[in-house]
Structure 1
Amino acid sequence: MNKLGRLTLAILVVCAALWFGAVQLQKSQGYTKNNTLTLYNWGDYIDPSLIKKFEKQTGYHVSVETFDSNEAMYTKIKQGGTAYDLAVPSEYMIEKMRKANLLKPIDHSRLTGFQNIGKPYLNQPFDPGNKYSLPYFWGTLGIIYNDQLVDQPLTHWSDLWQAKYRGKIMVVDSARDMMAVGLIENGQAVNSTNPVALKAAKACLDQMAPNVKAIVADEIKMYMVQNEASVAVTWSGEAAEMLANNKHLHYVIPEEGSNVWFDNLVIPKTAKHTKAAYAFLNFMLEPKNAAQNAEYIGYSTPNMPAKALLPAATRNNPAYYPSQKVLNKLQVYSDLSPEMVGLYNDLFLEFKMQH
């Protein structure tokens, strides 16, 4: 054998040894293709130490893939290229996935701790009886303001239209959420499919346009924490992170009401490791784990014993755990037809083009 042949053989032997070693390492850790759980989640939406704890406790290996929108997640699952064992869609998308026959029913007899979920977070219109989904986190859309940069607290959506906030307000780059603000301000439902009402909501937002500093996403956190903006429209969990980094910030749910959203765990129809999926669902139903996750993420937990384990300042904060009176004024998004989604997006784009 010549030198090149010996070198090639040596490389092949090393590669084979490395591959064999990796396989043996995975086996020694209990990881094989058959006991790997594939979780499809939003980015940074679970405490990484809980993943490690679950792996250590159960012997399952967790492979996490992330998405940045419900629509992207829906498309990937519908295409069926990857067999995800669990996914975390929002309420209206659960309704859409259910209608498209993309989900496996959840066998409640295999759940331990389902009774830990509070009744207000169960049996929602998007999944009656929680036949296909298990609550993971929930939150609201609201207003965050800096008490050093405003002369009085903001308590109504209408406050955003005040002339004194000209060029000072940050708003989220989300058609559904900002159209909801316009609809609520006009006394309409957030799921309106009336073109006249939707155009009126957009016209209402147009009147607020001079007050808008920027239409952004994650950048809101930086602007608010660094005192570079006075007011913003944002989600409760994002606000929690901002409040933790700036004592002058306050989050409120406007008195007229707002959107309440739910992110739930579901088992896609293509899931291959159902036993692992139930093990993970039961792991996350444990109050200690759910509380740890809520502290890490900042959004509200639907797990009532877990809520009791949170710091008093968190569990007693009406901005994150509002009273039933406030909850009664909150509206859940419904799945809209593609045509209606297109109209919402088009109207919002027209509003954005002013900036």
Structure 2
Amino acid sequence: MEQYEPDSLSAAQVAAMRRSLANGRASLTRRSLLRASGVGALTLGGLGALSACGIPPAKREGSQGPSSTDHSAEEKTLAFSNWTQYIDISDDEKHRPTLEAFTRRTGIKVKYTEDINDNVEFFGKIKPQLAAGQDTGRDLICVTDWLAARIIRLGWAQKLDPANLPHAYAHLAPQFRRPDWDPGRAYSYPWTGISTVIAYNIKATGGRKVDSVTQLLDDPKLKGRVAFLQEMRDSVGMTLLDMGKDPGKVTDADFDAALGRLQKGVDTKQIRRFTGNDYTGDLSKGDIAACLAWAGDLIQLQVDNPDIRFAIPAAGYMTSTDNLLVPAQARHRTNAEKLIDYYYELPVAAQLAAYINYVCPVDGVGPELAKIDPELASNTLILPDKAMAAKSHAFRSLSTEEETAYEEKFAKLIGA
């Protein structure tokens, strides 16, 4: 088993990380577009024609393509596609410290490309090659869970070798181990978790706490100053939880009932609008008093504006993941597995979490993160405690037909 010894953090690196948090680079640039476009997701509906640790893999719609020949032994290279501003960078923005450290230890050169701006848009780029059984030119990709599920079901992801993932298996946090779309993480590992919570501007609410979807939808003092998210699974999921329904077991009737509650909020003008992460500016100014929000945004917002607060509803909150997959026919699966495993080493995971501020899926990373910034290590938006983790819920995997129907209904609701 190959063991990596991560570089220790220098004082300059720690200072650079803290400056990155202060200048806003770490969080708010992460999602300049929607995590998943409601209308764009409908294009996936047309694809209908088309285990690790002793746990069987998820059911697959497509046939398993021929095994790809792995050239990792003779080709010390790796092509990695990721979202923009989703990895640690140096203070002068010329270096990616963790990637460069990986290359020094392994000799594997990483071609890192920030070419994912939207799940649907990116899938459109790689779908023709995947469908044709061709190499996409990428050995590792990072996509949100619903798209990861689709790629796995279609047979377009390579099964991972547990022997190359000792740190990943040992350190993966319990709440991320058994997604219904990839039980046992046979094909994927999370890069980050994404929590959907309630955010509010305490000045705009007149000093009142907002901690439930019921308040967002029914409190007359918030009328016209409420925002929900354009991501269907987040807005509908949070509404379902408020209704006492489990998004992990959602039925058509449950979905329609939740949509009805949101429609009432639209009709009465309780809801001002549905947003991507552009809610951040209006929330800071107080034009939006309260909203659904992504936790990674709130850490930076709170640095810039002490009036920004967040709440975890008693009913629970929605969580999703961005996930690392090796596409079918990729030439360097073993190299990709080594990189996945590297980011589950505790010091490396801490460096990544300190920069991007989303939920770290690596269990036990707290002490290493505390060396960088004790406040980050105690922030439950980055490292959920057991009580918070127990309140997390994921939207169940949808069939192609369900996904199309649900997204169509939601797109009509939000006027997309």
TM-score normalised by the chain length of structure 1: 0.82
Match of 1:335 in 2: 397
Structure 2 segments unaligned to the other structure (5+ residues): 1-73, 90-95, 130-134
User: 1:253·1:319 contact (CA, 8 Å) conserved in 2?
Assistant: no
Q: Does 1:218 align with 2:272?
A: no
Relative to structure 1, is the Cα distance of residues 76 and 191 closer, same or farther in structure 2, using a 3 angstrom cutoff?
farther
Corresponding position: 1:91 with 2:145: yes
Q: Equivalents in 2 of 1:186, 1:297: separation in Å?
A: 32
Deviation of 1:294 after TM superposition, in Å, equals 0.7
- Rounded to whole Å, the distance in 2 between the matches of 1:111 and 1:339 is 35
Q: Which residue of 1 aligns with 2:308?
A: 249
1:155 to 211, 216, 220: 211
Structure-2 residue corresponding to 1:14: none
Shift of 1:208: 2.1
State how far apart, in whole Å, the 1-side matches of 2:285 and 2:325 are.
Answer: 38
What are the within-5 Å matches in structure 2 for residues 189-228 of structure 1?
189-191=246-248, 194-209=251-266, 210-228=269-287
Query: Secondary structure of the equivalent of 2:194?
Result: strand
CA distance in 2, matches of 1:279, 1:194: 40
Change in Cα spacing, 1:117 to 1:192, as seen in structure 2 (3 Å) is closer
Count residues in correspondence: 322
* 1:194-343 aligned within 5 A: 194-209=251-266, 210-310=269-369, 311-343=373-405
Q: Helix, strand or coil for the counterpart of 1:351?
A: helix
Greater Cα shift, 329-338 or 264-273: 329-338
**Partner in structure 2 of residue 133 of structure 1:** 188
Change (3 A) 1:323 1:290: closer
Alignment-derived partner of residue 177 in structure 1: 234
Higher relative contact order, structure no. (Cα contacts within 8 Å, ≥ 6 residues apart): 2
Output the amino acid matched with 1:100.
L
- TM-score (normalised: structure 2): 0.71
1:20-35 paired onto structure 2 within 5 Å = 34-35=75-76
> Tell me, which stretches of 5 or more residues in structure 1 are unaligned?
1-32
Q: Does structure 1 conserve the Cα–Cα contact (< 8 Å) formed by 2:357 and 2:382?
A: no
Pair 1:352–1:124, CA change in 2 (3 A):
closer
- 1:37 paired with 2:73, answer no
Contact 2:160 2:188 in 1 (8 A): yes
Shift of the 118–218 alpha-carbon distance from structure 1 to 2, 3 Å rule, reads closer
> Percent same amino acid at aligned positions?
22
Give the Cα separation in 2 of the matches to 1:197 and 1:306.
37
My pick for the range that moved more, 258-267 or 114-123, is: 114-123
Shift of 1:259: 1.3
Matched AA of 1:131 = A
- Greater gyration radius: 1
Q: Could you tell which deviates more after superposition, 325-334 or 258-267?
A: 325-334
The separation in 2 between residues aligned to 1:186 and 1:112, in whole angstroms, is: 41
- Aligned position for 1:351: 413
Compute the displacement of 1:56 (Å).
4.4
Instruction: State which drifts further: 259-268 or 312-321.
Output: 312-321
- Distance in 2 (alpha carbons) for counterparts of 1:196 and 1:124: 23
Cα gap change, 1:242/1:312 in structure 2, threshold over 3 Å: closer, same or farther?
same
Q: Give 1:189's aligned amino acid.
A: D
**Match of residue 62 from structure 1:** 111
Change over 3 Å in CA distance of 1:279–1:193 after alignment to 2: closer
Say which structure is richer in helix.
1
Aligned equivalents of 1:307, 1:126: Cα separation in 2: 28
Structure 2 residue matching 1:339: 3-state secondary structure: helix
In the TM superposition, what is the alpha-carbon distance from 1:108 to its structure 2 partner? 1.5
Contact persistence 1:36–1:63 (CA under 8 A): no
Contact 1:38/1:65 (CA < 8 Å) preserved in 2?
A: no
Answer yes or no: is 1:100 the counterpart of 2:148: no
Counterpart among 155, 165, 173 of residue 111 in structure 1: 165
**Equivalent residue for 1:144, pick from 194, 199, 203:** 199
- The answer to whether the Cα contact below 8 Å between 2:195 and 2:359 also exists between their aligned partners in 1 is no
Partners of 2:126 and 2:366 in 1: CA distance: 32
CA RMSD of aligned residues (A): 2.4
Q: In 2, are the aligned partners of 1:91 and 1:334 still within 8 Å (CA)?
A: no
Q: Is the 8 A contact 1:157 1:256 kept in 2?
A: no
Shift of 1:131: 1.2
> Counterpart amino acid of 2:155?
N
* Change beyond 3 A, Cα 1:77–1:191: farther
After superposition, the Cα gap between the structure-2 partners of 1:131 and 1:76, relative to the gap in structure 1 and judged at 3 Å, is: same
- 8 Å contact 2:360–2:382 — kept in the other structure? no
Counterpart of 2:328 in 1: which secondary structure? Answer: coil
Counterpart of 1:122 in structure 2 is 177
- Contact conserved, 1:145 with 1:251, CA < 8 A, in 2? yes
- Separation in structure 1 between the aligned mates of residue 310 and residue 103 of structure 2, nearest angstrom: 36
Following superposition, the deviation at residue 75 of structure 1 comes to 4.1
